[in-house]
Amino acid sequence: MKSSVLLVEDDAMSAGVIARAFVGVKYEHVGTYADCVEWLESNTADLVILDLNLPDSRGQDTVRRFRARFPNQRILIYTGFPLECATRPMRSERVRIAYKGSPELLHTLREVRGLFEKVVSGGRESSS
């Protein structure tokens, strides 16, 4: 079965950047938290890439709501929010964080793709 990614991102430019990192992967994109929930109720994804600043959900509340509804889903938080927004309680084996606005776009794409490959292969990354 082909690995799959669901991107939850309302910004078209950011979505386009992430899409480039997942060539050859089954990839879906939605722009709101509500659309994410609807999609996951009838589909599965190896990884959900979740923006924290969506039209219908903001900040850590987005992650809390998502974790309550889909506790076993692996997610990568892809955000431009400040570091304090990514507190230790949000981090776990099933939650990783990557930041928008990296000075090196190629590095960011490699980082996101690398995290996806670790998730799909069952590899673990130590929490910091």
**How is 37-77 classified by DSSP, letter by letter?**
HHHHHH---SEEEE-SEETTEETHHHHHHHHHH-TT--EEE
* Contact between residue 33 and residue 57 where contact means Cβ atoms under 8 Å apart: yes
pLDDT of residue 118: 75
Question: pTM to 2 decimals?
Answer: 0.76
Ranges of residues in the chain with a pLDDT under 50 are: 84, 88-89, 93, 125-128
Which residues are 50's β-sheet partners?
8, 77
pLDDT of residue 64: 87
Tokens 């994804």 correspond to what residue? 45
Beta strand extents in 9-112 (DSSP E only): 26-30, 47-50, 53-54, 57-58, 75-79, 95-99
> What domains are defined for the chain?
4-121 (3.40.50.2300)
